[in-house]
A = this chain, B = another copy of it.
Amino acid sequence: MGLVVQKFGGTSVGSAERIKHVAERVIEEKNRGNDVVVVVSAMGKTTDSLVKLAGEITDTPSKREMDVLLTTGEQITISLLAMALNEKNVEAISFTGWQAGMETEAVHGNARILNIKTERIEEHLMDGKVVIVAGFQGITEGGDITTLGRGGSDTTAVALAAALKADKCDIYTDVTGVYTTDPRYVKEARKLLSISYDEMLELANLGAGVLHPRAVEYAKNYQMPLVVRSSMEQEEGTIIEEEVSMEQNLVVRGVAFEDNITSVTVFGLKNSLTSLSTIFSTLASNHINVDIIIQSLTESQATNLSFSIKDSDLNETVKVLEENKAVLGYDKVASEQGLAKVSIVGSGMISNPGVAADMFKVLAEQDIVIKMVSTSEIKVSTVIEKGNMVKAVETLHDAFDLSNLPVINA
């Protein structure tokens, strides 16, 4: 007898039919003798419809009211899933975020969970019920409804699993697990049996998109094993945990990529000491996410600074830089759009020097020019031309032996 938290995303609960199918999945787990807590997202395109409705009213909706609006999405799903379980003679009870005791900070649209009062959930688990909790939502101390932002339902699931001391947290999604790279682009992509939190964090941040980094961080902090698996197919998923037991001989465990990257270069920064922090705090306060940052010295006293952003943030970035030109003290700004980021990720890099060099060599052999480089302990990222992205990924996937991995459940 254990306790399992299951999370089903928007596609998995996209219709009455699919909700019935999810109920089957819940019952399977229950029949294994486990207590089950289920976290669900809003049905399919519900959130989009609600956002559209708000857009017909105003271009600048209050964040508080957006949270009131959007949280109805999960509230619909929890009640329907409870009904679907009841229909199959399984006792179930639904809880919204506030009913589940999901206390968050008083920030609308992107609140962090502060505490979960699990008494009510535990009481109903003791009664043998399946407890269904609305993902993505919480309540402030003052009784206002909040949402957790992107990846919110994953975070709800992991946080609940941690608070309830669950044995594991299964993230059911529309993919069958975590892959060595995106199988939609690279047919040699292989599903991994396991991956470490840190590797998953790098992959999530790099656009692998399976799990939100916040949820992975939360899981790492609480050492809660996560399993990413398909809600539609009966396939083994990928376990995300601290110590990865399988495939440990792999230096690189995944190749991630992301297009629509722009590089911006600020030439001739006069006072790099203060202007560096000024530039990035100014961009951050304008909600521009900066990814790779490279600072290079010039022959003069001045500094050149390059960083990467999303294509869509370019206009705003240039505007912010120009408005602050006097304070920042630079010569000129240049940018290059239509770039892509390709990264290799693997804990094995820590004990294997020269992995970055291998990557550069592989790309050079394909005549792929590297525009920017950034490295961490377990990751090397390169910015290249978008047109070379898929070729780079395929070549790296082969070169680091990922295409030779056994195929799992497929």
A interface residues, Cβ below 8 angstroms from B = 16-17, 19-20, 50, 53-54, 56-58, 60-62, 64-66, 68-69, 71-72, 75-76, 78-80, 82-84, 86-87, 93-94, 96, 98-99, 120, 143-145
Contact = CB atoms under 8 A, between A and B. Distances in A.
Contacts of A94: 65, 68
A97 B258 CA distance: 44
Given A19-B57, A56-B16, A57-B16, A62 B83 contact: yes
A62 B86 contact: yes
23 contacts: A16-B53, A16-B56, A16-B57, A53-B80, A54-B79, A54-B80, A57-B83, A58-B86, A58-B87, A60-B86, A62-B82, A64-B93, A65-B80, A65-B86, A65-B94, A68-B78, A68-B82, A68-B96, A69-B75, A71-B75, A72-B75, A98-B98, A99-B143
> Most B CB atoms within 10 A — which of A19, A68, A78?
A68
Interface of A is mostly: helix
Contacts of A78: 68
Which of A17, A57, A71, A75 is the most central at the interface, judged by chain B CB atoms within 10 Å of its CB? Answer: A57
Contact of A65 (B58, B64, B71, B83): B83
A52 to B, nearest CB: 9
Contacts of A64: 93
Contacts of A56: 16-17
B60 A87 contact: yes
A58 B98 CA distance: 26
